[in-house]
Amino acid sequence: MSIAVVTDSTSDLPADLVEKHGISVIPLNVHIEDETFLDGVTISSDEMYRRLPDAKVIPTTSAPSVGAFVELYEKLAKTHDEIISVHISSKLSLTHNSAVNAVAEMSSTTTPIAVVDTQQASMALGWTAVRVAEAISDGASLDDSVALAKKLSERAVFIGMVDTLKYLVRGGRIGKAQGFVGSLLRVKPILTIREGEAHPLERARNRSKGIARIKSLVAEYAPLEKLAVLYTTDEDDAREIANDIAEFDPDGSPAVAQLGPVVGNYLGPGMLGLGLIRAEPS
């Protein structure tokens, strides 16, 4: 039985991992003034970050339509026996809801489709999709894959140090990190995702101390199954961090992933962080 793996563009999966594992990525929408773009398809990350600081109208994002999901699922059903679709937290986006509604609309199809709300985002979601694809390659069933995706999402961790919270605030995705607002002067907030929402983790006194804290957090979360260093605009800093924490990656070389236009719209230029999956307790 062949099983297709679907995720969405908020997974921030690098193209080489998408291709290697045969994962289908459905793009979210980015709305800038009177233009609508497909996340990572018709607008690149670099273009988004070029536009973001000076945007006269606050950019917004939206979930893929039900129709877009139906189209993708129908295409995959021609070449696969089953489909697992793993997505960004339903508390951060309506993407999961669109996928569920698409499956309901396709009730007459004979192809089983399972939709999983990972309660995660960025590479915490991306790594979950990758691990599911790896398990399927090793013979996992659809039920096995769904169970694995849920377990992985509980061990997945997103960490993000942002230059400013203004992008989260204006985009309405501040979540439980609201407590940071008003108490921050020049400190750098470090956020995580917990129970599907943005939560405050720590405050770093400046950027260099924040980078040092990101590195030390890796050691605290080790041992790991998967590790990626995340960035929006500062690739050199991300690669330096990756080199310094390489010993904690199972393969000795952490992935370096740029946040796509949708996630980046809420975290802004200058963000650095981590996407990882902790090893299963022995």
* CB neighbour list of residue 65: distance below 8 Å, 6 or more residues apart: 98
Spatial distance between the Cα atoms of 250 and 49, rounded to a whole number of angstroms: 32
The two structure tokens encoding residue 272? 């650095």
- Check whether 45 has a pLDDT greater than 70: yes
Give CA 181 to chain center in angstroms.
Answer: 24
Q: Which CATH class is domain 3-29+59-154?
A: alpha beta
Q: What is the pLDDT of residues 189-231, one digit of tens each?
A: 899 999 999 888 998 989 999 999 999 999 999 999 999 999 9
For the chain, the structural domain boundaries read: 3-29+59-154, 156-278
Q: What is the pLDDT of residues 65-111, one digit of tens each?
A: 999 999 999 999 999 999 999 999 999 999 999 999 999 999 778 89
Task: Decide yes or no: CATH 3.30.1180.10 for domain 156-278.
Answer: yes
Task: Give yes or no for a contact between 69 and 75, defined as CB atoms under 8 angstroms apart.
Answer: no
